Amino acid sequence: MKLTEAKQQFISSWGAFGTQWGINRTMAQIHALLLVSPDPITQDDIMEQLSISRGNVNMNIRDLISWNLVERVILPGERKEYFTAEKDIWKVATQIIRERKKRELDPMLKLLGQLEDVDGDKKDKETKQFVEMIGSIKKLGNHADKVLDVLIKAEENWFTGSLLKVFK
């Protein structure tokens, strides 16, 4: 397979994959493009390669930056801004985990804490089921929180496969 074709395929699939995970297709595609670009590129490069508008590139790049997956690069002597993505894929993964934990898991746990104490008779079947369910989801959430922390900290070993031994 030719590079151009493979790249195209990768970007498009990465976009589709992203949408399944609640990530804007274009944002995922820009990320994919940056991942396979050895050097920093400009907004115009992205516009051209993905055939999307300037506004779209700008908004999604800013979003990627807020996820700490992409950064602005100022090349000396150049007027334009360049962008580059973190290339260490394990760092990418842990960063995404970290952010989603912060943005989604933490708020959810906070909510569950609030819902935990409803007034009413614990003997009532409906109340009992509700309280128990909230409690066990909260417990699962806290568990996930800890497991993910361990994962994030295991950073160094993943590539060699030594994490899994510890893990098991």
Positions touching DNA (CB under 7 A) are 19, 24-27, 42-44, 51-56, 58-62, 79-81
Residues 114 and 139: their CA atoms lie apart, in Å, by 14
Q: Is 65 a residue that touches its own copies (CB under 8 A)?
A: no
The verdict on 75 binding its own copies (CB under 8 A) reads no
Least distance in Å: CB of 81 to DNA? 3
> Nearest distance from residue 10's CB to DNA, in Å?
17
Instruction: Please select the residue that binds its own copies; options are 28, 35, 41, 64, rule is CB under 8 A.
Output: 35
Q: Interior CA angle at 126 toward 120 and 129, to 5°?
A: 100
Question: Which of 11, 134 has the CB closer to DNA?
Answer: 11
- Residue 166 token pair: 């510890």
DSSP 158: G
Size of the site for its own copies (CB under 8 A): 58
User: What is the contact mask toward its own copies in residues 121 to 140, using x (rule: CB under 8 A)?
Assistant: ----xxxxxx--xx-xx-xx
Question: 106 touches which of DNA, its own copies, none (CB within 5 to 8 A by kind)?
Answer: none
- Cα distances (Å, whole numbers) of residue 12 to 63, 69, 121: 19, 19, 54
- Tell me: does residue 161 bind its own copies (CB under 8 A): yes
14 touches 28 (CB < 8 A):
yes
Phi, psi (5° rounding) for residue 82?
Answer: -115, 160
**82 scored as a contact of its own copies (CB under 8 A):** no
* Residue 9 or 19 having the CB closest to DNA: 19
Residue 79 as a binder of its own copies (CB under 8 A): the answer is no
Amino acid at 148: L
Phi, psi (deg, nearest 5) at residue 81: -85, 145
Structure tokens at 63: 């979003």
